[in-house]
Amino acid sequence: MRLLQLNNVQKSYQPGIPVLTDINFSLDRKECLGIVGESGCGKSTLARCILQLEGLDQGEILFEGTPLQDKGEREIRPYRRHLQTVMQNPASSLNPKLKIRHSLMEPFRQYGAQVSLSHFQHGSEEGMARQLMEAVELSPDLLSRYPHELSGGQKQRISIARAISLEPALVVLDEPTSSLDVLTQMSILKLLDHLRDALDLSYLFISHDLLAIQALSQKILVMKQGQIVDRFEKGDLFADERHPYTQQLISLFD
C-alpha cells in the first residue's frame, strides 16, 4: 500500500481560477519525492492540502489507503502526528515569546503519552528534548533560549527536530532551505538525508531549487501553473526528452 496517494486533486480559492488541476502522484515509505516549480505554481497550496490545512474541491488524498479529504478536524487529529512539516521561514515557525524547549516539545506534549517510538527513548520530557537536539546536531544549551537568540540555520534545525520528534511517516518539506545561505543549505540537506535513513522517514520535498531537490529526491515532479507537467527519476534529469519547462529550469543553473 502506498503511503500517500493523490488522485485527481483539484483546488481553487476563487471560482474560475484553479490553483491545482488534476494532481496525481503517489509516495512510498522511505522515499523522497521532489516537487519543483516557480513561485505561484501552487506547490505551497499542494503542501497545505496534503497537511489537511485546506479542503479540496475535487479528488482524494489517501494516507495508507484512508481517504483524508472529507474528515473533520477531530477525525484528522490522530493522523496529524504522521503528517509533519518544516516550513520555509524559520523565523516565524517558532513562537518568539516561547523558549525553544517549549516550541520543540509541542508535538511531544500533545501526543507523547499515546505514541510508541522506535528510535527515541521517550522517558522524561527533558531526556527526549536532549535526544532531539542531538539528532539535529545542536547543543542542548539552546533549549532555554528564545528564538531570536538563534541563527536562521539553528532555528531551522529546531523546526526539523520538532517535525521528526514523533517519528512521523511523512514530512512535508516546504522550501526548507530557501531562506538560508548556501553553506547552511548544504548542511541542512545533509542532515535531512541522514535523518531519513536513521528514522525511516518519507519526504515530500517542495522547492523552486532544482539543485536542492536533486540532492535529496529519488523521483522528481515538475509543476507549472497548478499542473504536473513532467515527472522523472533522479538520474533522468538531463535526458534529452524532458519537457521544455524542465529544460528551461535546468538551463538556469548551467
Partner 1 sequence: MTSRLTINRTRATKVFLSAFLILIAAIAVYAFLILKHDPSFVDLNERLLPMSWQHPFGTDHLGRDMLTRILLGFQLTVGYGFLALLLAVAIGVPIGVIAGFKGGLVDRLLMRVADAFLAFPDTVVAIVLSGLLGAGIENLLLAIILVKWVNYARLARSTVVTERQKDYITMAKINGLSEWRIMWKHLFPHLIGHILVLASLDLGKIILLISSLSYIGLGAQPPAPEWGAMLNEARPYFQTVPALMIYPGLAIVTVVLLSNLLGDYLRDKFDVKKEVAE
List of residues contacting partner 1 (CB under 8 A): 51, 53, 77, 80-81, 83-85, 87, 89, 92-98, 103, 106-107, 110-111, 146, 148-149, 159, 162
Sheet of 32-36, strands arranged across: 83-86, 170-174, 202-207, 32-36, 219-224, 227-233
CB of 166 to partner 1, least distance (A): 9
| Least distance CB 90 / partner 1 (angstroms) | 9
Strands 227-233 and 219-224: antiparallel
* Residue owning grid cell 522550501: 175
Shorter beta-carbon distance to partner 1: residue 88 or 246: 88
**What is the DSSP pairing of strand 58-63 with strand 66-67?**
antiparallel
- Smallest gap from residue 141 Cβ to partner 1 (A): 15
Question: How do the residues of the chain divide into helix, strand and coil, expressed in percent and rounded to 5?
Answer: 40, 25, 35
For residues 26-62, b (16+ Cβ closer than 10 Å) or e, as one string?
ebeeebbbbbbbeeebbbbbbbbbbbbebebbebebb
Q: Taking CA 70 as the corner, what is the angle to CA 66 and CA 72, rounded to the nearest 5 degrees?
A: 105
Helix (H, G, I), strand (E, B) or coil at 178: coil
User: Is 41 or 86 the residue whose CB approaches partner 1 more closely?
Assistant: 86
Write down the least CB distance from residue 167 to partner 1, Å. Answer: 14
Identify which of residues 113 and 183 has a Cβ nearer to partner 1 in the complex: 113
By residue count, the chain amounts to: 254
Q: Which is nearer to partner 1, 18 or 112 (CB)?
A: 112
Shortest gap between Cβ of 132 and partner 1 (angstroms)?
14
Specify the residue, 77 or 119, whose C-beta has the smaller distance to partner 1: 77
